[in-house]
Amino acid sequence: MSQQVIVLDKVELTRLMKHYEQNEIVRNAPGVVFAAKLHDTAITVYKSGKVLFQGAGSSREASGWSQAGLTSPTAKIQANSKGDSLPSGLANLSVVGSDETGTGDFFGPVTVAACFVSKKQIELVKELGVKDSKQLTDDWMRQIAPDLKETLLHSVLTLKNDKYNEVQERGWSQGKIKALLHNQALKLVLRKMGDEKPEYILIDQFAERGIYYNHLKAAPEIVRENVLFSTKAEGLHVAVAAASIIARVAFLEEMDRLSSLTGFQLPKGAGPKVDEAAARILLSQGENTLKSLSKWHFANREKAMKIAARKKK
Ligand code: MN
């Protein structure tokens, strides 16, 4: 079994224990002040300041902590993003990335995509025009998504509004909906990969690891191996950026379809324009139609109803 030992000072130790707080376990061994268990790593902190990491994830977990007496951290930690401490050189490894879109939009689905980018494909994917998707326009993403889908093993899931509203009314939070969709998309990509395995799976983080896996408790198959979470992950590996683009374009395509049903372009987001459009649909096509196009629990519903009532008078 692989293991790593590092020595930390008090400040760094406190930070580490806080970091693994959610995964704490009781271990009554001599000299042990804290212990935690992740799906692939056991962490033991000793009174001396020594920290022992054991298991498949030990080097991943051990990296990023500043060792006592050393001037530089043992490995580079991504200071600008939240989540796991990341292996150095992550951007150049073979990675399955996943991301979602549509969760903040009143109209339209939630979509999640996962895709695999091998080491060898990284340059090609960049040449196809993949950058941090936050910097890309919808039109550009529509243009490059077909090439990406053709080039990369991927899976994209569209949770349409009827289904979304049904599970939401059953009590599912958006976090749970997202976690289940990410897990499903990842599973499908891994299946398509056959015997090939990614070095890491990188999820654009929307929940802490513990919360994410808690949502998946009842799932029949849970993807756990080599999973990393980070916010702003689309800037950390092109696999997440590509997944983000594929998810976004799936969202846009479903919005196009819904817009053609309503007869006008449905606005994105959840702002005043959305309230107006929703009121227009209420007045012309009624509540059931609006519900079938939207995330019904959003506050936009109430606002639209008020606007519609005012206009009726
Ligand atoms: Mn995201």
CA distances from residue 119 to 24, 99, 263 in whole angstroms, order as listed: 35, 19, 45
CA of 218 to the centre of ligand 1 (A): 23
CB 98 within 8 A of CB 156: no
Residue type, 35: A
Around 117, how many Cα atoms within 13 Å sit in the side-chain half-sphere?
28
The pLDDT value given to residue 5: 86
CA of 4 to the centre of ligand 1 (A): 32
The pLDDT value given to residue 81: 57
User: In this structure, what DSSP letter does residue 194 have?
Assistant: T
Which residues neighbour 48 within 8 Å (Cβ) at sequence distance 6 or greater?
A: 7, 31
CA of 232 to the centre of ligand 1 (A): 7
Spatial distance between the Cα atoms of 63 and 83, rounded to a whole number of angstroms: 13
Instruction: List, for the chain, all residue ranges whose pLDDT scores fall below the cut of 70.
Output: 1, 68-81, 132-134
Backbone angles phi, psi at 142, to 5 degrees: -60, -35
The pLDDT value given to residue 72: 41
**Residues at Cβ < 5 Å from ligand 1 ion:** 99, 204
CA of 99 to the centre of ligand 1 (A): 5
Instruction: Kindly tell me the burial class for residue 240, based on how many C-beta atoms sit within 10 Å of its own C-beta (0-12, 13-18, 19 or more).
Output: buried
Q: Which two tokens stand for residue 224?
A: 């756990």
pTM, two decimals, is 0.74
